[in-house]
Amino acid sequence: MADIEFALVLNLHQPVGNLEHLLDAHDWQAREILWAIDRIPRSLWPYEDIARVHLSLSGTLLETLADPDFQHRVYGIVDCGSLLWYLQNTRIIEVLGTGYYHPVLPLIRPGDRDEHLHRWRTIAGYLFAREHFPGFWPPELGFSMDLVPALSRHHYRYVIVDSEHVDPLTPMRWEELRYRPHLAQFGGEQIVVVVRDRDLSNALESGMDPDWFISEVRARTQYCDFPPLVTTATDGENGGWFRNTTPGSNFWSGFHAELMEKVRAGRSGGIRPTFISDYLERHGPHGWVTVEPGAWNTGSGFVQWTGSPAQQQALTRVGELSEAVHAARRNAIAIGAGNPDLYRHLEDALTMVLRAEASCNFFWGEAWVQRCHDDLDHATRHLEQAERLFH
């Protein structure tokens, strides 16, 4: 059997204002989150020769970390400016693209999808001093095939999807489907699909012994007659396994460091960390697949975000207001409107719609749905102000 290439993916997201709120109301939780993020590059430095990790950071988290007022407030906890600098280390970190406000992309209108993708690339391009991000992390791993053209327009080579939703079009065995990248096509555009192993990811997020991980990965890939790519993807700052500050009791000191020592000593059972983009350069994709609509924790569909009448009503209102804002923007351009206040209100209205689409507003059942409506109320007021300026 060939060497087993291991792609570690971590998702980092905090909703708008959440860290500020936690600092006011639950200071220790905010500290744990910030330390969990700051721990990532520090834990990788001793293993720059072998460690590789993919990070997805939502636009709202990047915006918070880059905000001078927030940086000043948390300076005694984490130096956010230095942290952002550390995350630019391309030897150990491959940054993945995502949606700015962390929406479930299949649930929103195509025009808004493009806005989320464009705004994320703008802030990430500035903070990470680059234009190219090879891979894409769909927020909540929410994917549907009609996203492929948008991802292609934004120059992503690959997208990560959950193993439960991938169906082969080319005949292939179970281990080929799960441990090889594939190609998917929609609307005349194509993209490489990288399959996240849901079972391994769930186990890794709960806390894991390195020896168990090595044994399990070897068992899952034992019949591979090709170089397997084993991809795990979890949150990187949520849950006690990532937030625990006790040495030896969190992901980095209780699992990752020991795994890296085994890799360095040649005792990892052939497992070695890799960047997905490097694997693709060496081995390329294999075969064609289609991906059923779904997310990280679902069967088919998105019932976690659409299951209640309140969630459905909020999503309907999002779609209606989004359509109205985009129509007003097109109208302003068509008539050659020159009032800067008009465009400012339209831009603010669109921003509020995009913010209302955040997955967290729907994920928690009906507990956060009002946050969606609050943002849509702000969007409505901006749209009304803009409409007055048309006349």
Residue 300 lies in a domain: no
Token pair of 362, please? 């729907």
Q: 282 with 312, same domain?
A: no
Q: 314 with 193, same domain?
A: no
The pLDDT assigned to 370 comes to: 96
Return the axis-axis angle of helices 257-265 and 210-220, rounded to nearest 10°.
60
Residue 162 lies in a domain: yes
Q: Which domain holds residue 22?
A: 4-291
Strands 158-162 and 166-168: unpaired
Residue 379 lies in a domain: yes
Task: Give the Å distances, CA to CA, from 69 to 36, 65, 74, 119.
Answer: 21, 10, 9, 21
Q: 143 with 23, same domain?
A: yes
Distance of CA 106 to the CA centre of its chain: 14
Distance of CA 18 to the CA centre of its chain: 17
Q: 265 with 332, same domain?
A: no
Strands 189-196 and 158-162: parallel
Q: 210 with 321, same domain?
A: no
Q: 184 with 251, same domain?
A: yes
Residue 112 lies in a domain: yes
Residue 169 lies in a domain: yes
CATH number assigned to the domain comprising residue 97: 3.20.110.20
Q: 41 with 147, same domain?
A: yes
| Residue indicated by tokens 């109205």 | 324
The pLDDT assigned to 390 comes to: 80
Q: 283 with 343, same domain?
A: no
Residue 188 lies in a domain: yes
Q: 379 with 248, same domain?
A: no
Q: 286 with 314, same domain?
A: no
Cα separation, 330 vs 199, whole angstroms: 46
Cα separation, 224 vs 179, whole angstroms: 8
Domain finish residue from 291, 322, 351: 291
Domain finish residue from 291, 325, 348: 291
Q: 78 with 173, same domain?
A: yes
Domain finish residue from 291, 322, 340: 291
Cα separation, 101 vs 98, whole angstroms: 9
Q: Which residues contact 69 (CB under 8 A, 6 or more apart)?
A: none
The pLDDT assigned to 209 comes to: 93
Q: 29 with 73, same domain?
A: yes
- The pLDDT profile of the chain, 391 residues, written as one tens digit per residue, is 469 999 999 999 999 999 999 999 999 999 999 999 999 999 999 999 999 999 999 999 999 999 999 999 999 999 999 999 999 999 999 999 999 999 999 999 999 999 999 999 999 999 999 999 999 999 999 999 999 999 999 999 999 999 999 999 999 999 999 999 999 999 999 999 999 999 999 999 989 899 999 999 999 999 999 999 999 999 999 999 999 999 999 999 999 999 999 999 999 999 999 999 999 999 999 999 999 999 998 888 899 999 999 999 999 999 999 999 999 999 988 887 788 999 999 999 999 999 999 999 999 878 899 999 999 999 999 999 998 888 6
Is residue 54 within 8 A of residue 276, CB to CB? The reply is yes
Q: Which residues contact 60 (CB under 8 A, 6 or more apart)?
A: 13, 14, 15, 16, 100, 101, 102, 358
Question: Looking at this protein, which amino acid is placed at residue 96?
Answer: L
The pLDDT assigned to 389 comes to: 86
Domain count within the chain:
2
Cα separation, 380 vs 382, whole angstroms: 5
Cα separation, 161 vs 164, whole angstroms: 9
Residue 297 lies in a domain: no
Strands 135-136 and 189-196: unpaired
Residue 298 lies in a domain: no
